[in-house]
Amino acid sequence: MQTFLIILLVAAMIATLVALIRGIIAFLQTTEAELKGEGPATSSVKSNKMMQARVMFQALAILIVVVILFAAGRT
């Protein structure tokens, strides 16, 4: 069980890193013309979604750490 949780934790950490990198890349692709345009640009929407995914993966990683610590305290 402990090994499975550690593998899940590593996967959540990698997913967090990937979402962070994709969000930063989408943010950097925003041009000045898009910033002055009407409504949200596609790159801005993508950047926002990637950053929301990053927060979700971070929360998942924290929950896994809590479960690992809880399981370690019981043994």
What's the predicted TM-score (pTM) here? 0.80
- Buried-exposed string 48-60: b where 16+ CB fall within 10 A, e elsewhere: eebbebbeebbeb
**Model pLDDT, residue 32:** 66
Better pLDDT: 1 or 7: 7
22-73 pLDDT, tens digit each: 989 888 887 765 767 777 778 788 888 999 999 999 999 999 999 999 998 8
